[in-house]
Amino acid sequence: MGDAARVWADGRLDVRGESCPYPELYTLEALDAIGSGKVLEVITDCPQSFIRIPESVRVHGHALLSERRDGTTRVYYIRAR
Amino acid sequence: MKRWYDRVFGEFWGATPVLVVAGVFASFYFGLTGTLWAVTGEFTRWGGNVLQLVGVDPTRWAYFQAIHLKGGPLQRTDGWLVLGMLWGSLCAALLGGHFKIRTPRQKRRWLWSFIGGLMAGFGTRLAMGCNLAAFFTGLPQFSLHAWLFIAGTVLGTYIGVRLAVLPAFKGKPRLEIGLRRVQSLDGSGTARPWQMYAGLAGVLVWVVCVGWTMRDHRPLMGLAALFGAAFGVLIQRGQICFTSGLRDLWLFGNGRMAKAILAGMAIQCVGTAVFIDRGVQPVIHWASLGTLIGGLMFGVGIVIAGGCETGWMYRLMEGQLQFAAVGVGNITGATLLAYGWDHWGLYRALVQGAPEVNLLHTLGWTGGILATFGFLGLLYVLVLWREGAYRRRLALRRLPSAGDVSA
């Protein structure tokens, strides 16, 4: 699903200001909490999490649907396994 | 030009190539100057300088006599190295467009950052080196104290991870569940050219500084400033965090950074061996109980703080203000240790009488080099084992079961 089509999400996790490992840890826990098949929006500005969140989400079997960049902030849309 | 720029600064650089290059640079830095890529000794001197500013004279403390407290940061080679690292990280963060003032939403982060930094600073100086001089650049000196420190750090980070997931440390995220429209991005952060220009100006300033030290007949300081800036750029562009190397291995079964660190140390061992063979004196420290305890404190501290010495330096330069607390904690902890060294009898109790073991002497050249690579190999096996164990646990969890929810 592309950026343009994504207008709704089933939950939002805003971890701006947090630094590692918490953006990654919170994301994984939120994906467990939100329920299978739901889409979580994650907003982060910790540079290390730009590497770690996509990596970790895949390892855990969730699907990274899309990613938006806004300068120093990134937004991920992830479907929970 | 734009394409080239995006290729260099658009994405982060891979951790393994960055650490291999850092390893090569570190061995040349050792070969050219006879000193190590290290930072905490200088942090301790900063603590001493601060004490001098407020009218306390610490130059008679045994620890400061051992590490030579003279002048200010700009009169010391190590001072230029540390400032170079900070400056290099700042320029790299600006050039990559990653600079942003960030403050943690949860107040507890400030407290834990300071306490973790304090523990790590105290521990590293007890051990005579941090994740650099007793780890990344310490092991390739064939000094046994690095083995003890690494063992302590591996165990300490494990304990640290156990603490970091407790509610008091972890806190609560801002999580809203329920169908909602996605966050509209206002584009306020897109491609701000000022960061690039500021970064370029920063590079120019540093070139002038290096030229000035050279003209002033202080070639060692100029060299330190150059190497420091290179290290600073590398750790920011590669997001090189030794804390995450160990922490993420325990917490997420991710050994990418740990393997990269091992590769950087392996290549460095070859480089330093060549320079030692050509007559450069290796830097050997006491292999003592203090080294092991120091490593343990360091390991716990860096996980609680969220960053080791290299980690907090580049993160602070990216604008993550939380890491200023880690830095202040580090310097405070190191200064406390310097005081306690003789005043609390730490040296007598934990360090005195411990041997300074140079493995190239004790085991001979072949034995020393084989043993060091054997140790690296053992660490590599540990990483693979942990990755495998985590993956197996994850695979078990994926089997559908009712009681599977662990939030």
What are the sequence ranges of the domains in chain A? 4-79
Is the pLDDT at B362 greater than 70? The verdict is yes
Domain A4-79, what fold? Answer: Translation Initiation Factor IF3 (3.30.110)
Give CA angle at B226 (B223, B229), nearest 5°: 145
Mean pLDDT of B203-231: 92
Task: Write the ipTM.
Answer: 0.88
Mean pLDDT of B233-260: 94
B378 touches chain A (CB under 8 A): no
Q: Point out the residues of A that are catalytic.
A: 20
Mean pLDDT of A40-52: 93
CA distance A28 to A8: 20
Which one, of B92, B40, B22, lies nearest residue B260 by Cα?
Answer: B22
Residue percentage of chain B with pLDDT more than 70: 95
Q: Which one of A30, A45, A71 has the shortest CB-CB distance to B192?
A: A71
A1 touches chain B (CB under 8 A): no
Per-residue pLDDT tens for A17-34?
A: 998 899 999 999 999 999
Q: Is residue B77 classed as helix, strand or coil in its secondary structure?
A: helix
Q: Which residue on chain A is closest to B109 by alpha carbon?
A: A18
For an interface test with B, the pick among A19, A43, A70, A75 (most B C-beta atoms closer than 10 Å) comes out as A19
Mean pLDDT of B336-350: 92
Q: Which one of A22, A47, A81 has the shortest CB-CB distance to B170?
A: A22
pLDDT at position B73, please?
93
**What is the pTM assigned to this prediction?**
0.92
Which one, of B299, B300, B286, lies nearest residue B350 by Cα?
Answer: B286
Which one, of A73, A49, A78, A42, lies nearest residue A61 by Cα?
Answer: A78
Here the tokens at position B11 are: 């994405």
pLDDT at position B333, please?
96
pLDDT at position A46, please?
92
| Percent of chain B as helix, strand, coil, to the nearest 5 | 70, 5, 25
Which one, of B379, B358, B384, B359, lies nearest residue B370 by Cα?
Answer: B359
Mean pLDDT over each residue of chain B, to the nearest integer? 91
pLDDT confidence band for B404 (50 / 70 / 90): very low
B241 touches chain A (CB under 8 A): yes
| H or E segment and range at residue B176 | strand B174-181
Q: Is A68 exposed, middle or buried (0-12, 13-18, 19+ CB in 10 A)?
A: middle
Which residues from chain A sit within 8 angstroms of residue B391, using beta carbons? Answer: 59
Q: Return the minimum-mean-pLDDT range out of B312-321, B356-365, B393-402.
A: B393-402
Per-residue pLDDT tens for B83-133?
A: 999 999 999 999 999 999 999 989 999 999 999 999 999 999 999 887 888
pLDDT at position B110, please?
95
Is the pLDDT at B402 greater than 50? The verdict is no
Output phi, psi for B71, to 5 deg: 65, -165
